[in-house]
Structure 1
Amino acid sequence: MKRNHSKRKKSNLRFIILCTAPALLAYIVFMIVPTINVFRMSLFKWSGFSANKQFVGLDNFKILLDDQNFIRAFQNTVLLLVVVTSVTIVLALLLAAIMSTSRAKGKNLYRFIIFIPNILSVVVIAAIFSAIYDQEHGLLNGLLNLLHLSSWKHMWLGDQKIIIFSVAAAMVWQSVGYYMVMYTSSIANVPDSLYESAALDGATQSKQFFSITLPLIWQNIRSSLTFYIISSINLSFVLIKAMTGGGPDGASEVLLSYMYKQAYTNSSYGYGMAIGVVIFLFSFLLSLIVNQVTKRETLQY
């Protein structure tokens, strides 16, 4: 019996290894090895196209500290993460609460309409907002004219002071529907009996939301918050690349777009990889901080 049990365990182990090996191999080849290579190449001065590589140690990272363009790209990235994440998560929660408590007809249609931007290509979204922000024929300036608010008109993608906020609006519009659907699903799992008991005790809907709904779906919010912060770094790169190209005069540059420009446009591949290392460490550290700050006692229902 023991021998048969041992054979069965070995057979199960071989089956598990056989099933997981392809995925593990792909992860190592396409994730672990490139990540290690980024760290390695950040220690070299290399154009990316020649065979000559000069080992410079940490010199690339020392240059970063005095690079004003890198500092501005870092500031823009942090600003986008704070503004876009805060607005998206709060707006998604608000819409999810409204959709969950409202008894109006057509809720599914509203959910679908709000979710549509998430299924559009980011390049398409960039084109839509570029048209909206057009100074002469754009919808936004045209609407301001119609409302007799011509003094509010701007070059939305040409003003260095507001361009990053124009990009932030596009990012919020693209993402809010996805998280609304996610939170709506989480709220639907909260037992109705809790709301009924709270209503009998005289709790308003807003009180029920903050005392019942929010604590019970907090783990979902934590997970989505971490995921969205990291994905926003990638999303900002694509939108910036398609909408502004980092202009005007680098005012809308973010970390990934600046890394791409250094590595593949300015032929400073080693320097670009040093920026990539900073992005990796920044993302990892930010995830740890968010998880620690949002840690709460798990509630059961």
Structure 2
Amino acid sequence: MSKKKSRALFIFICISPAILLFTVFMVVPTIEVFRMSLYRWGGLSGSKQFVGFDNFKILWNDTDFIQSFQNSVLLIVLVAIITLFFAVFFAAILTRENIMGNNMFRIVFYIPNILSIVVIAGIFSAVYDPEDGLLNSIFGLLSLDSWEQMWLGNHDIVIYSVAGALVWQAIGYYMVMYMSSMASVPASFYEAASLEGAGKIKQFTAITLPLIWNNIRTTLAFYIISTINLSFLLVKAMTGGGPGGTTEVFLSYMYKQAYGNSTYGYGMAIGVVVFTFSFLLAAIISRITKRDVLEY
């Protein structure tokens, strides 16, 4: 056997376990979701009725699904914009400024990311408590009684309360990623810009932001995927989809249909829509935010 073939065989042997696991636990289940979306099945009975695209026709006339779709899109937009802003802001401060306790702040910001989503739901349920919660207590101390709310009971603001918990959980994780990118930018760039009279804001927009743009593009896809996944867990633990379905999101509604209402095929149709939506949205954002790679 030639050296080239031996090397190819060795590489194949090394990566074959990963390929096998990916195929068994990712590719096959994804194909199965698409297949089951074409059936009417309760999930437990032995009989399955092929209905083609009927599940999808029902889907677009389902007001509860439309509500969950709107909630998911709202969370993706809010969480992505707010988290991106604060993560980049804090990363720039902790990277560029000589702040006492710099490393401590990094740890403190990152702690929410390692907490269980159930713990986060418990923390924010306590914060939002209308009687003894931290938020209403602060407003009371500041004599802002009109600002006190039923944060998890008001139909108009409850989805924003969920968004707040998601942002709090995510900021530290993305901040660390941006700090890693910012730390690799040569200090000589900032020194040259400073000599030219550029202030810190101008340095950030003209040097830092363009040079970490590829990292930001990558994390935009993470925002979409993580918000869809984590919003399901947070909603299940924090509000249960209430009040009145106003916090239902993609995956919580899919779970309810597939495993709660015994309409498994319909739930899988929702899963197909979620998969397609996530993929297309990530691809569109990646295309829109594409820029020439800056080398240094």
Task: Return the alpha-carbon distance in structure 2 between the equivalents of residues 192 and 21 of structure 1.
Answer: 43
Aligned pairs (5 A) from 1:43-58? 43-58=38-53
Within 2, Cα distance between the matches of 1:90 and 1:295?
Answer: 19
After TM superposition, the score normalised by the length of structure 2 is: 0.99
Given the alignment, which residue of 192, 196, 202 partners 2:197? 202
Shift in Å at residue 169 of structure 1? 0.4
Deviation string 1:235-271 (CA, Å, 9 cap, x unpaired) is 1000001000000010000010000000000000000
SS at match of 2:2: helix
Is residue 95 of structure 2 the alignment partner of residue 109 of structure 1? Answer: no
Q: What number of residue pairs does the alignment pair up?
A: 296
Q: Is the 8 A contact 2:79 2:223 kept in 1?
A: no
Name which of 18, 25, 28 aligns with 1:30.
25
Determine the C-alpha separation between the residues in 2 that align with 1:109 and 1:83.
Answer: 28
Which letter does structure 1 place at the counterpart of 2:110? F
Runs of 5+ consecutive residues of structure 1 not aligned to the other structure = 1-5
Q: Runs in 1 of length 4+ with deviation above 3 angstroms? A: none
Distance in 1 between residues matched to 2:135 and 2:90, nearest whole Å: 24
The equivalent position to 1:135 in structure 2, one of 130, 153, 160, is 130
Rounded Cα–Cα distance in structure 2 between residues aligned with 1:32 and 1:180: 32
**Whole-Å separation in 2 of the counterparts to 1:91 and 1:229:** 17
Provide the secondary structure at the position in 2 that maps to 1:66.
Answer: coil
Distance between the aligned counterparts of 1:280 and 1:114, measured in 2?
Answer: 31
The one of 165, 171, 187 equivalent to 2:182 is: 187
SS of 1:248's equivalent in the other structure is: coil
Matches within 5 A, 1:252-291: 252-291=247-286
What TM-score do the two structures reach when normalised by structure 1? 0.97
Cα deviation for residue 181 of structure 1 reads: 0.9
Distance in structure 2 (CA, Å) of the matches to 1:53 and 1:198: 68
Q: Which residue of 1 aligns with 2:119?
A: 124
* Residue 224 of structure 2: aligned partner: 229
Further displaced range: 251-260 or 14-23: 14-23
In the aligned structure 2, how far is the partner of 1:194 from the partner of 1:102?
Answer: 16
Alignment match, 1:15: 10
Q: Which residue is equivalent to 2:57?
A: 62
Aligned alpha-carbon RMSD (Å): 0.7
SS in 1 for 2:244: coil
Indicate the residue corresponding to 2:147 in structure 1: 152
Kindly, what percent of the aligned residue pairs are identical? Answer: 61
CA deviation after TM superposition for structure 1 residue 195, in Å: 0.3
Matched, 1:97 2:106: no
Deviation of 1:142 (Å): 1.1
How much does 1:9 deviate? 1.6
